[in-house]
Each structure stands twice: as C-alpha cells, then as structure tokens.
C-alpha cells in the first residue's frame, strides 16, 4: 500500500507519515510532483541488500572455486631514488 503526503501535510503530521511507512512507501510531493519517499528501515535494508562483512562473504560455500586474477602493474612500485 502506498500513501501520498504533500510537503505541508508531511510537516504537519510527521507521526502519521511514519505510521503509514510501516505499511508501505510514503510519497512526499512538492508542488504536485513526487519529491521524496519515506520507507521503514526494514524496507530500506531489503532494497539495499544490507551490509555484509567480508568474513561472511569469504565463508560462503563455493568461494574456494572462484578465481581472481589481479592485473600486475609494475610501474606502481619503483625503487627509491635517494640521490
């Protein structure tokens, strides 16, 4: 379920907008055009996929079968010129 608030309505009833966001996105309009979307934190995390730790990713099954080839850049490391 989506809900729409004008900017004025949102400013006057922020609590109502937050409650509505528990049931779906809340569109906030500015001069009749959608300008912002208010989401619950659960919905936001679902959309962005959440953050994962590298240790969790490396522990995933099948990760040992992944080949990673890194390019060698010989021009990055140069001997120091001490003269």
Residue with tokens 């609590």: 15
- CA–CA distance, 76 with 4 (Å, rounded to integer): 54
- CA–CA distance, 37 with 3 (Å, rounded to integer): 10
- In the prediction, which pLDDT does 58 show? 76
Whether residue 32 is contained in a domain is answered as yes
Whether residue 60 is contained in a domain is answered as no
- CA–CA distance, 62 with 71 (Å, rounded to integer): 23
Q: Which range marks the domain in which residue 42 is found?
A: 3-51
H/E element, 46: helix 41-48
pTM beyond 0.75: no
* First CA to last CA distance, the chain: 71
Whether residue 36 is contained in a domain is answered as yes
Domain count for the chain: 1
pLDDT (tens place) for every residue of the chain, 83 residues total: 789 999 999 999 999 999 999 999 999 999 999 999 999 999 988 887 766 677 777 777 877 777 777 777 766 666 777 87
């Amino acid at each position: 379920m989506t809900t729409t608030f004008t900017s004025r309505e949102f400013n006057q009833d922020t609590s109502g907008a937050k409650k509505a966001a528990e049931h779906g996105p809340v569109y906030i309009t500015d001069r009749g055009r959608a300008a912002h979307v208010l989401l619950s934190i659960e919905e936001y995390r679902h959309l962005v996929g959440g953050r994962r730790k590298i240790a969790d990713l490396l522990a995933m099954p099948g990760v040992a079968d992944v080949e990673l080839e890194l390019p060698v850049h010989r021009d990055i490391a140069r001997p120091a010129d001490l003269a």
